[in-house]
Amino acid sequence: MLKQSEKPKMMQERIGSLFAIIPLSPNQWTVLSLLVAIVAAVMIGRADLVVGLALFAVAGALDMIDGAVARARGEVSALGGFLDGIVDRFVEALFLFSFMFYPLPIVFIDPKIWLAALVFLGTCMPSFVRAYADHKGIVSREKANALGGVFERGERIILLVAGLAVGLVYGLEFFVYAIIAASLLSLITIIQRLWTIGGLTNVPSQR
């Protein structure tokens, strides 16, 4: 019997073996996912929600392929990981920005404000706090990478996808509620990371 943790790894290996024969480098797969996401954002901005969401799903699939191909070919690199992380943030931001041009219902205030808040508090700030703490040498790189929080990128994407799925069936105000919840939980995560960094810097060094 395979362990539960080994199943995703095997799936990644199969995906990598399947797509490694295509003459595209892992970084090219990464850039391709960004290009597809740009087209997806344009489609949602033109109120073609079904096509736009389908293309964002394709962009997400391409994002999985790049890492799988890199491992299958033995081409894993620091530059590839850096590029993948940057593109991930661009794709997420494009997804949120695209809905600024889509007629979402007002929940308390203009939904564009909630979308902008999530881009800042969710897409940008949690990663910035971690990277800036490392850059300034406030904590070690290992400790910076270990910074967690109640609501990170994986949870954020799951909540948004779930909110959008419910919204498509029962009304897009549920998607706006998910955006609001994601913004607030992202803010809590930022505070948690700042609190953790403050605690780490106050720990006396052992000689």
Query: pLDDT tens, 11-64?
Result: 666 777 777 777 778 888 899 999 999 999 999 999 999 999 999 999 988 888
Give the model's pLDDT for residue 188: 93
What b/e string do you get for 78-89 counting C-beta neighbours within 10 Å, with b at 16 or more?
A: eebeebbeebbe
**Euclidean distance between CA atoms 12 and 99, whole angstroms:** 31
Q: What are 78's two structure tokens?
A: 């620091």
What residues does each domain of the chain span?
Answer: 1-103, 104-207
| C-alpha pair distances (Å), 27 with each of 12, 38, 70, 78, 88 | 17, 17, 9, 11, 13
Q: Are 98 and 44 in contact (CB under 8 A)?
A: yes
Q: Which residues pair with 109 in a beta bridge?
A: 107
Residue pointed to by tokens 């992380």 = 85
Give the model's pLDDT for residue 95: 94
CATH 1.20.120.1760: does it fit domain 1-103? Answer: yes
Q: Which backbone phi and psi does 109 adopt, to 5 degrees?
A: -135, 175
* Predicted TM-score of the model (pTM): 0.82
One-letter amino acid of 104: L
- Per run of 10 residues, the mean pLDDT along the chain (length 207 residues) is 53 70 82 94 93 92 83 81 89 94 93 95 90 84 79 88 92 95 94 86 51
**Euclidean distance between CA atoms 181 and 153, whole angstroms:** 14
Q: Which residues pair with 107 in a beta bridge?
A: 109
CA angle 174, 179, 180 (to 5 degrees): 95
Largest CA distance in the chain: 62
Give the model's pLDDT for residue 4: 46
